Amino acid sequence: MWRLLLWILLTASVHQASSHNSTDSPLVTTDLDPYNRNRYCNWPCKCPKSAPVCPYGVSLLTDGCDCCKACAKQVGETCNERDTCDYHKGLYCDYSADKPRYEKGVCAYVMGTGCEYNGVIYRNGQSFQPNCKYRCLCVNGAIGCVSLCTESLPPRVWCQSPKRVKITGQCCEKWICEESRKPRKTNPRHAPEESLTTNDIWHTNCITQTTPWSPCSKTCGRGTSLRISNDNAGCVMEKETRLCNLRPCEVDITKHFRPGKKCLNIYREPEFQNFTISGCISKKAYWPKYCGICTDERCCIPYKSKTIEVEFECPNGSVLTWKYMWINACFCNLSCRNPNDIFADLEQYYEFNEIVN
């Protein structure tokens, strides 16, 4: 009898153990369930009051949850649906190593076109520093650069004679201001005093500040040039615009070269002409000078210019007055901007010398 009871107890214990193992098996396979993924995005969004400060060269992007600003993950770093990769550098989140859940990935480069600069090949998304002045980034065949020399900027407003100088032992040049000392104008001792109006007193206390004219917006045809000045009745900084035309687009200037020459620094139309703008015609006819062109590596730019006022008469009878850049002299040399120089637009310097009538 006791043997039968012992056999029943042993059978029950074995059955309980087998049933226990059968309930544990789903817990073991649960981790491999592709539908059991961690949740990285939570709504409503809860973002910090201020955006994070990213390291130099790291993009500040909206996270994958479309909620908060976050520093983008870089190559080799872990990414997920919230922590996105820096797509500005051609990176994407590679989930191939996390099969079958595809929950976590690693930032890797998209197979894109590389870049070539100065004989060196850079892969897509690679950041490089070709010299001490610039840091560049290759993005699918295109190179974008930022200047590292940002501490010294030209004093465009208050300085009339800016100059950039090279400092020994330093990579970046610095701007200095060379103000010419002008003699003071004084009245003779026994000269009668003039009565000053309020406007005269205002102009007496106003220090004229004028920036140089910006380069013409077009290399041929009519463009515009800008500057900022307070040389007005209110002594207020205002933006001024003038018309400019470095050379006509429709004329083949090379046909006017002298035999054996590769440059023509000054070109003029064969006869006087009237300027036109928006259907309005200048009251006077002019014979302006234009900068020529070169067939070699040299370029021609204005050397001396001045600003004149041109009156335009419109079909409805109204009269408009525009400032106009009048070119006095041009020169052709190798110191112009190289069209193949990717850093040319990052340079800050003055183009033209303005002369006074």
Q: What is the pTM of this model?
A: 0.42
Torsional class of 66: left (φ above 0), alpha (ψ -120 to 50), beta (otherwise): left
Q: Which one is predicted more confidently, 77 or 343? A: 77
For the stretch 108-121, pLDDT in tens is: 877 767 788 888 88
How would DSSP label each residue in 264-303?
-SEEE-SS-B--EETTEEESS-B--EEE--BSSS-EEEEE
The DSSP annotation for 258-271 comes to: PTT--B-SEEE-SS
pLDDT tens, position by position, 320-351: 899 999 999 888 877 565 544 555 555 544 44
pLDDT in tens, 250-308: 889 989 898 888 888 899 988 999 998 888 899 999 999 999 988 887 888 888 889 99
